[in-house]
Structure 1
Amino acid sequence: MSDEMIIEHCSPTLAGIKTGNLFSCEYSDRQCFLKEICRLNRVLVKKGINAIPVRYSENRVLIYVFRPAFLAKDFKDNDTASLLEELGYEATDVRACVRCLSKKLFNLSSSKEFPHEIGLFLGYPVDDVKGFMKHKGECSKCTGRWKVYGDVERAKQTFDKYDKCTRDYMKRFRAGTSLDSLTVFA
């Protein structure tokens, strides 16, 4: 897992404009991968970000990069907290929520439904997460970084902001700016 991969998939979170990002990468040796996660967290934690593996498969791992303080703020929204509690989460405890999500992802099998509430952990609007769950991913008004069931114009502005951020961060990284320098404390 390279710094470039982190920047490519997580720039809005690194920039402090998004709660979290999720991406998958290959690994061949679990111990080496865990050392890499520790290295990454030495850079990110001091800026208020955590990176954790939330699901392993045969040779891939799903990594959640997030700002716990942003997640706590997101989960204080009444609609978000209610939905999380309906789904078995304790919305007032961010760490417990992340552990619960991780457990759901680790225990995912073909007989269990994917935990679509994951969108709340990525900073998606609660109306869009509820709409996705209600309509089973169908009938969205618009699709971008997520499927939109609520405010289309606001979502498009957010998609554009995230895309611009990612392009800027990739350009700066390729010009020699380090992951540490690109990651802001927010």
Structure 2
Amino acid sequence: MPDAMIVRHCAPTLAGLKTASMFTCPFQSREEMNRQVSRLNRRLAPRGIRVLPLRYRGGRGLIYLYRPGWLNRDLQQAESRCILTRCGYGWDTCAGQLRRLRQRLESSREFPHEIGLFLGYPPEDVRGFMEEKAENYKCVGCWKVYGDPERAQRTFDRYKKCTDAYCRCLEKGRPIEGLAVIRKGS
């Protein structure tokens, strides 16, 4: 897994602006994916960031990079819990919720719509996406917005600036560990 790919897809999470990020990466086998994820976890865990392979299919792995404390906080929000319950998630630990997400990803070719909650998207936008069947959104950027478009656009702009800056830092030789910011509660 090249560091440039990780930074391109996960800079806001590395910087402590976002709960989680997700990307796909080619791997020769599930075992190779698991080895590379283990290596990346050894590099990022001291910074409060975890990496989890969510799915392997057709030579590609779906990789999830997240801040466990922040994910737990996000999933405990009342609206998030309501959405997850409707999607068949029980009142479980964060690890249990991630296991259920992995099961749902493995059993379907489609992304389960609640995945936005695991990426730190506002619950009102995840609910809107599900209820409106991905139509009638107010704006689109990193996700489709059904709630506050001005707040979302400011967030999208911050994520883009962060990604651009982090890509430049990586090009100048800064290691990914040096880009991973330690944040309280992550």
Whether the TM-score (by the shorter chain) exceeds 0.5 is yes
Match of 1:151 in 2: 148
Instruction: Identify unmatched segments of 5+ residues in structure 1.
Output: none
Amino acid at match of 2:11: S
Q: Is 1:137 aligned with 2:130?
A: no
Indicate which of 98, 112, 115 corresponds to 1:115. 112
3-state SS of 1:90 partner: coil
3-state SS of 1:88 partner: coil
Q: 2:177, 2:60 → 1: CA distance? A: 25
Deviations 1:126-152 (A, max 9, x none): 111011001111111101000001100
Question: How far apart are residue 10 of structure 1 and its match?
Answer: 0.3
- What is the 5 A alignment of 1:4-153? 4-109=4-109, 114-153=111-150
Identity of aligned residues (%): 45
Deviations 1:158-180 (A, max 9, x none): 00010011001000010010001
RMSD: 1.2
Q: Is 1:164 aligned with 2:161?
A: yes
3-state SS of 1:56 partner: strand
TM-score w.r.t. the length of structure 1 is 0.94
TM-score w.r.t. the length of structure 2 is 0.94
Q: Does the 8 A contact of 2:33 with 2:61 survive in 1? A: no
Question: How far apart are residue 92 of structure 1 and its match?
Answer: 4.9
Question: How far apart are residue 47 of structure 1 and its match?
Answer: 1.3
3-state SS of 2:117 partner: helix
Q: Is 1:173 aligned with 2:170?
A: yes
Q: Which runs of 4+ in 1 moved over 2 A?
A: 29-33
Q: Does the 8 A contact of 2:41 with 2:51 survive in 1? A: yes
Q: Does the 8 A contact of 1:75 with 1:92 survive in 2? A: no
Q: Does the 8 A contact of 2:47 with 2:182 survive in 1? A: yes
Q: Does the 8 A contact of 1:75 with 1:91 survive in 2? A: no
Question: How far apart are residue 91 of structure 1 and its match?
Answer: 4.7
Q: 2:113, 2:94 → 1: CA distance? A: 17
Deviations 1:80-126 (A, max 9, x none): 111112222235511100110011001114xxx63100000000011
